Amino acid sequence: MMHSSRKQFMMVVPGALLLLYMAFPIPSSAQTDQETATLDAIVVTAQKPERSQETGDVNLEATPSFYSLITREEFEGKVESLAEVIEKEAGVQVRQAGGLGSFSTVSLRGSTSDQVLVFLDGILLNDASGGGVDLSTISLSDVESIEIYKGTTPAVFGRSSIGGAVNIRTLRSQKGIHGNLSAGYGSFDTWKVSGLLNHKPGKWDYLISADYLKSDNDFAFLNDKGTDWNPDDDRVEKRHNAQFHENNILAKTGYDLTEQVRVDFMDQWFSKEQGLPTWNNSELARTSFKTDRNIATLKLTANDLSPYHFNTSTFLDYTHKVEEYDDSEGQVGLGKQFNRYTTDRYGGHFVGDWHTAWNSLSLMLDAQRETYAPEDLLKPDNQIGESLRDSFSIGMQDTLYLFHEKVIVIPAFRYTHIHDERRSAVDMWGRSEKGSTEYISSWNPQLGVKYRPLEILTLKANIGRYLREPSFFELFGDRGFFVGNDDLKPEKGTNFDAGFEIRWGGLNDWLKDINVSAAYFHNTVDDLITRVYDARGIGKSVNISRSVIEGVEMSFKVDFLKHFRLIGNATWQDPVQENEIEAFDGKILPGRFQESYLARFEAFHGPFKVYAEYLNEKGLYYDSANLLEAKDKREINVGASVAYRSLTVTVEVKNVGDEQYEDFNGYPMPGRSGYLMVQYKF
């Protein structure tokens, strides 16, 4: 389990927080009369550009949630994926099934990927079909910023989650006309081309962003043929059938009806086709997976309504997604498969805010209807039923500002009701089974506190109760790989965290800014859904009694000598399962690391910038019995960029040490790779 040094550290941190609280008690009324403060200095730093704020956005200045904010300047002009960008944050783990463009999921503080909600401009991307959101289907070309909420999900989102939430904000129109063109090339015949045009001449505006990305992913790796005990059959080979190409187009238009009322329309289309390698890396593999997705949204923002100054945001959205899995030759799964999965979702979301001098009251309403229709294209006569999930959520949050905003208390709750018509169940031979109708209702309260005893110091704590309903994948299974389990119960989780932030700016010429944060977290999940496998390798989702995950995460950033920056973070966690099966009880939950570290050094002067970073993850097991331990992940990345007027050239080398690593057993990641990117802004 956890090393003794980490146990001692986890005991020290809560004690340190208590000492800080005792050293800086809540000020008396006499003190608060003499000193007032605003929250602006807590969030805004010299390195972050001004962040646009609209009704329906999370108020980062007030939220007690532990979050990370990644701005566009941190990934713009690079050949990077969403997974590569967010995995560098404390408490965040990403698992990839190969190189660029491969299936990848996110875990927050030891959660499963199903327990993390991913939003695009507040639109939920998690499907009822389940499996977690594939991060490789989200392009970075039209992203303005990425918000990662660990443990606590702000009530402004339509749903609550056990693991936390990732909200991806796309670009928003700005005054005037501007845009950019980018082109890049790199290892494994990787190409990236993108463009952006934004025009806002007055009351109306439009924004168009498009990009194309492809790679052969034919990197070299050591293939042990699945016999790691026999080195005689090991061969260095190129990865076969791992190529992909994708297209992404975002179109936005908006009109300011008045100074307080605005209407917006957004449409995003994404298409991707990729090959799926076989377990033995066969040169004859032809298995493929295609994804086509379209998201359309109509939004109305109306602020300062009535004498009570209500602010509202209402949007309607429609998502159509078609996935096609073609293993007609039976090269990957058990038996031949050629399936199409169609998901349609209609949703409506409303947020209303009412602000006074001492509080801010928010109301949230969210309703969705989702249909899931699988088709067996090899057996057209074998009709599989269409499943349906209706969900409705209502939430309320009150932000209380006390002691001249030194103390912020945020109680919140959500009520969620789900109605399932489960008609897509099949047995292990692909034959339709009898469906069922289910109803799930839950109340999910949460409480957050934020206390700022000093200008540079903030203390935060959160506790909440959450629920996750089983996905269709877990209920119905997948022919050849997984057997469905219609008796699954929802997961119920309780999250707690507490920690501090120190933000100290403008110290002197040689030490400009210091940002330090640390948090202790303790999460429990009852009826955790996990997967077990029989002797034939057939999987099935089952409920285990309980899991307990506790840990500590820390991060810091120091700007010094005007031209240098040092960034670091670390996460230690114990993701333990309490299982009725004795062989699994007390073991580390599969797929979770126990330790993670990042160190990054940046130097910048005028138009020049260079960086070097080191990532390290330890203590991951592939299986529930902890018999298959993954190698430690060690990765060094370096890069440099130079800007001349409107032109920026960026060069990067990833995995400099050419270290071989597998997030999923049998699915290697690339070794050393290099990329060149050129961007022109106007």
- Listing DSSP states for 647-672 in one string gives EEEEEEEE-TT-----SBTTBPPP-S
Half-sphere exposure of 605 (CA within 13 A, CB side): 5
Task: List, in sequence order, every residue forming a beta bridge with 246; answer none if it has no partner.
Answer: 213, 272
- Which CATH architecture does the domain made up of 4-681 adopt? Beta Barrel (2.40)
CA distances from 682 to 185, 312, 427, 645, 676 (A): 22, 34, 57, 10, 20
CB-based burial, 52-79: b 16+ in 10 Å, e otherwise? eeebbbbbbbbbbbbbbebbbeebbbbb
From the CB of residue 582, how many other CB atoms can be counted at a distance below 10 Å?
7
Chain mean position to CA 401: 30
Are 229 and 204 a contacting pair, CB within 8 Å?
Answer: no
DSSP class of 561: T
CB-CB contact of 56 with 147 (8 Å)? no
Handedness of CA 233, 234, 238, 239 (dihedral sign): positive
Q: Which amino acid is at 118?
A: V
Nearest CA among 370, 352, 368 for reference residue 360: 352
Which band of pLDDT confidence, cut at 50, 70 and 90, is reported for residue 534?
low
pLDDT at 350 over 80: yes
Cα Rg of the chain (Å, integer): 25
pLDDT tens digits, 538-564 = 678 888 878 999 999 999 999 999 999
pLDDT at 623 over 90: no
pLDDT above 70 covers a percentage of the chain that reads 88
Predicted pLDDT at 473:
80
Assess whether pLDDT exceeds 80 at residue 38: no
Average pLDDT, the chain: 87
| Cα distance between residue 614 and residue 632, in whole Å | 13
Answer yes or no: are the C-beta atoms of 604 and 563 closer than 8 Å: yes
Helix, strand, coil % in the chain, rounded to nearest 5: 10, 55, 35
Q: What is the pLDDT of residue 9?
A: 38
Higher-scoring residue by pLDDT: 56, 427: 56
The owner of tokens 């956890």 is 2
Please provide residue 317's backbone torsions phi and psi, each rounded to the nearest 5 degrees: -135, 155
Name the residue among 218, 225, 221 with its Cα closest to residue 101.
218
Q: What is the mean pLDDT of residues 156-180?
A: 90
571 neighbors 552 (Cβ within 8 angstroms): yes
DSSP 450-489: EEEEETTEEEEEEEEEEEEPPPHHHHHEETTTEE--TTPP
Compute the average pLDDT of residues 295-314. Answer: 93
Higher pLDDT, residue 636 or 421:
636
Assess contact for 164 and 147: CB atoms under 8 A.
no
Q: Quick one: pLDDT at residue 541?
A: 82
Cβ contacts of 194 within 8 Å, gap of 6 or more: 141, 180, 181, 182, 183, 209, 210, 211, 212
Query: CB neighbours (10 Å) of residue 363?
Result: 16
What is the C-alpha to C-alpha distance for residues 378 and 363, in angstroms, rounded to an integer?
48
C-alpha to C-alpha distance for 632 and 437, rounded to whole angstroms: 45
Closest by CA position to 297, among listed 438, 476, 170: 170
Concatenate the DSSP letters of all residues of 52-106 into one string. Answer: P--TTS--TTT--SEEEEEEGGGTTTS---HHHHHTTSTTEEEEESSSTTS-EEE
- Distance (Å, rounded) from C-alpha 458 to C-alpha 456? 7
Count the Cβ atoms, other than its own, within 10 Å of residue 5. 9
**What is the secondary structure of 51-67 as a DSSP string?**
PP--TTS--TTT--SEE
Task: Report the pLDDT averaged over residues 183-208.
Answer: 96
Indicate the helix (H) or strand (E) that contains 32.
helix 29-34
Tell me: the pLDDT tens digits for 106-117? 999 999 999 999
664 in Cβ contact with 648 (< 8 Å) = no
Q: How confident is the model at residue 258 (pLDDT cuts 50, 70, 90)?
A: very high
* pLDDT band, very low/low/confident/very high, at 481 (cuts 50, 70, 90): low
**pLDDT at residue 46, rounded to an integer:** 33
Name the residue among 529, 533, 557 with its Cα closest to residue 543: 529
Q: Which of 660, 229, 648, 159 is nearest to 415 (CA)?
A: 159
- Pairing of β 244-256 and β 204-215: antiparallel
Strands 359-376 and 387-402: antiparallel
The helix or strand, by DSSP H or E, that contains position 10, with its residue range, turns out to be helix 4-23
* Over residues 325-344, mean pLDDT: 86
- Pick the range with the lowest mean pLDDT from 21-35, 278-292, 372-386, 594-608: 21-35
**Closest-CA residue to 623 (of 595, 662, 665):** 665
**CA 167/CA 158 separation, integer angstroms:** 12
Give yes or no for residue 445 having a pLDDT over 90: yes
Write out the H or E segment, with its range, that includes residue 301: strand 288-305
Q: What is the pLDDT of residues 380-434, one digit of tens each?
A: 777 677 889 999 999 999 999 999 999 999 999 999 999 998 876 655 555 566 6
